[in-house]
A and B are shown apart, each in its own frame.
Chain A
Amino acid sequence: MTLGKIKEILDAEVLVGNEYMDIDVRDAFAADLLSDVLAFAKEGTLLITGITNPQVIRTAEMLEFIGILFVRGKKPDEEAVNLARIKKVPLLSTRYIMFETCGRLFKNGLVGCIERTVNEGTET
């Protein structure tokens, strides 16, 4: 599934990276806790989140995420958007809530980058 297809399914707005809409998205990870993103998300995945601070862009840079999809209509401020431009991280924003966003993408064939954690949520 391409980023462009995700944009279409979720009626999303592209905030950064219109030129990356043909990129293929392998899988996704959704969380509102950056600690969990850093601990569990896999390199190259699509991050679905409601966090909009610059740290979410930095996290995406470290894990080389294919992009960030903000849910609940959230949009990062100009500072974070600029950082995303510099780091070449595509940003999309949808008005769907996280549950609906994940459900719609899953129904269209996108899977999680991991299925579950190994123990009490500390290992994958």
Chain B
Amino acid sequence: MPVTPRQPAEAAERAWPTWADLARLAGVLLVAWLLQTTVAPNVRVLGANPDFALIILVCVGLLRGSEVGAVFGFVTGTLVAASLMQPLGLSAFAFVIVGYFAGRYAETADLSTGVAPMVSVFAGTLLADLLILVAQYLLERQVPLGFMITRVVLPSLVLNTLLAVPFYVAVRVALRGPEVLRAHETA
């Protein structure tokens, strides 16, 4: 198996996508949007709806770095909120942070164990849920913590984490190109 030389993390972080890469990212974005707006509202497992958009966002962050992750998160969050009648800006805010940190994780951590997608989706779901929880509190909505943790956060954590690996494989195939994660794995 040929060994890809390790890319310096800084270079990978600053490398902006090419036009071909942008087209692939747009394709992945379209799929994420379609899944989240048409399939997710009709699928409920373990009492939670899968968050396809967030899972795909984390995978993109892992494969393309923090800045691409943040931009992808902003666009995905805005599109999904607009289509599902959610408050505009809330998902975008949470997704920018999740996308950025997923990318930073890939750029800085040792991902050789191969559980990075699951760990990242788990952490990303937790982070997004917490951010939205805080936002709801600030918007003076009811936030019964016990209910939220047992009936909302835990089911979505389990469901999203279980879906992480197949989605990561699919996104990696779709994006092909140089990968931040691969660079770290083969270092």
Are A and B physically bound partners? no
Residues of chain B touching chain A, judged by Cβ–Cβ distance below 8 Å, are none
A interface residues with partner B (beta carbon < 8 Å): none
